[in-house]
Chain A
Amino acid sequence: MQNIPLILAAPGMTLAKAVMRPDSESRMPICGAGTALTELLIERLDQMGIASVLVEGHPVLIEGEKTPEAEIKALDHRFRQVCEDPLMIRLKEIYKDRLIRLSEEWHANEA
């Protein structure tokens, strides 16, 4: 799953989360998760003032975006003072597993 600015959205990408109308009283969904983006749909989203969308996988390289590997390094660094505490070790593993999953998505796209 990747959060991308709408200008980087392209036909063929799949929404990972529903897009909601930004202006309506009842937060109506415009289109649901799993919808494939088309030229027309992207244009419509733009007209409705949608600035970013969540798409499946990791389709674009955004400048300055950290790789999951770099994120894992940063995670280890943040936990450096509590790396002997059993509870904190368990907590760190939860975050690490998540980053490993993201890393797989990221590299699946490269292949």
Chain B
Amino acid sequence: MQTKREEINRMVQDVKSLPALPGIVVKLRALAESDAASLQIIARLISSDQILSAKVLKLVNSPFYGFPGRVSTVSNALILLGVNVVKALVLSSSIFDLMEENVVGLWEHSLGAGVAANIITKRLALPDGEEISTAALLHDIGKVIIKIKLKEEAERIRLKVDGGEVSIREAEKEVLDVDHAEIGGWLGKTWCLPEKLIEPIACHHDPVRSVTYADRTAVVHLSDILIKASGFGYSGDDLVPRIQEAAWKKLNLSDHVLREIVDEIEDKLIEVKNFSLEIQSSHEGKV
């Protein structure tokens, strides 16, 4: 008999079983897989879809990436962020779009984590800050899939969390035999995202398991915890998880630097909140 875990793994591996993504996303995936696809071809493809390019540009210009100038074209976004990041943004904006109103909290939590990762990487002068921020933006994407594909189980998970001192992750393991982090990793594989995005997503709650991209994973791990500490958005429970010692050592932050990082994040979150409200009202405007 197939275990619940295997069943979910199979479901996530089957692109067709996932919520229907816009055709353009499918094309984009095919294109990005072939090395031959040039930036221009990808840019032209995204630009051909007005709503999608608007979304990509909105995210690129959000407080989340914080470029000093405004990025006004998709080709510039591709040059600045790289194909991988833009591909992940296109996928995630489509997936986040599928979410119902009541998961605005998760969207805010995700955006907040992206902002936190951006600030931490800058402070630590880590390379590939944009890519790490994108991994942080996507870190809980597994929760979205649970919400839209496993509705009944999601309800049982919610009841467990509401009923006691259980984190959403513990509840997921009880109900599904797998947590959202691992599901997010499977999803990344199905979408052919690069391993450097997949590993931080899959290991964000257990960073010791991350071997190849341990630095990136440590940043995403801490970003998630800081946003939960701050109480910004809602990720499914209100418990701040413990910082794992190995990840903390890896980042090697003094209390003083941590304090500065927290202050910077908290100031930025005001802008993120405004951005999120703006996005929500533009959504309401569309309907």
- Which residues of A approach B to under 8 Å, CB–CB? 1, 3, 24-27, 51-52, 54, 71, 74-75, 77-82, 85, 87-88, 90-92, 94-95, 97-98
The answer to whether B258 touches A25 (Cβ under 8 A) is no
B72, B167, B229, B266: the one contacting A92 at CB < 8 Å is: B229
Bound-state CA distance A103–B5 (Å) is 48
The answer to whether A95 touches B248 (Cβ under 8 A) is no
Shortest distance from the beta carbon of A80 to any chain B beta carbon, whole Å: 7
Bound-state CA distance A79–B230 (Å) is 10
Q: 10 A-B Cβ contacts within 8 A?
A: A3-B273, A25-B70, A78-B228, A78-B239, A82-B242, A88-B243, A90-B255, A90-B258, A91-B258, A94-B262
B167, B231, B258: the one contacting A74 at CB < 8 Å is: B231
A52, A77, A91: the one contacting B274 at CB < 8 Å is: A52
Measured between beta carbons, the chain A residues less than 8 angstroms from B243 are: 87-88, 91
* Additional pairs, 15, CB under 8 Å, beyond known A74-B231, A82-B240, A91-B258: A1-B267, A25-B72, A26-B70, A51-B274, A71-B231, A78-B231, A78-B240, A80-B239, A81-B165, A81-B240, A82-B242, A91-B243, A95-B229, A95-B262, A98-B266
Q: Quick one: closest A residue to B269, CB to CB? A: A3
A3, A87, A94, A97: the one contacting B270 at CB < 8 Å is: A3
The answer to whether B72 touches A95 (Cβ under 8 A) is no
Main secondary structure of the interface of A (DSSP, over half): helix
Shortest distance from the beta carbon of B246 to any chain A beta carbon, whole Å: 12
Q: Quick one: closest B residue to A52, CB to CB? A: B274
Bound-state CA distance A9–B245 (Å) is 46
How many interface residues does chain B have, given as a range? 20 to 34
Bound-state CA distance A54–B270 (Å) is 9
Q: Does B238 contact A (CB under 8 A)?
A: yes
The answer to whether A88 touches B70 (Cβ under 8 A) is no
The answer to whether A27 touches B258 (Cβ under 8 A) is no
Measured between beta carbons, the chain B residues less than 8 angstroms from A78 are: 228-229, 231, 238-240
Q: How many residue pairs, one in A and one in B, have C-beta atoms under 8 Å apart?
A: 65
Bound-state CA distance A44–B231 (Å) is 34
Q: Given A80-B239, A81-B239, does the pair A26, B229 have CB atoms closer than 8 Å?
A: no
Q: Given A78-B238, A87-B248, does the pair A95, B230 have CB atoms closer than 8 Å?
A: yes
Q: Quick one: closest B residue to A90, CB to CB? A: B255
Measured between beta carbons, the chain B residues less than 8 angstroms from A79 are: 229, 240
Q: Given A94-B259, A98-B262, does the pair A3, B239 have CB atoms closer than 8 Å?
A: no
Q: Does B285 contact A (CB under 8 A)?
A: no
A3, A24, A92: the one contacting B70 at CB < 8 Å is: A24
The answer to whether A26 touches B270 (Cβ under 8 A) is no
Measured between beta carbons, the chain B residues less than 8 angstroms from A90 are: 255, 258
Shortest distance from the beta carbon of A34 to any chain B beta carbon, whole Å: 16
Shortest distance from the beta carbon of B109 to any chain A beta carbon, whole Å: 13
Q: Does B22 contact A (CB under 8 A)?
A: no
Q: Does B14 contact A (CB under 8 A)?
A: no
Q: Does B68 contact A (CB under 8 A)?
A: yes
Q: Quick one: closest A residue to B273, CB to CB? A: A3
Q: Does B241 contact A (CB under 8 A)?
A: yes
Measured between beta carbons, the chain B residues less than 8 angstroms from A24 are: 70
Bound-state CA distance A78–B232 (Å) is 11
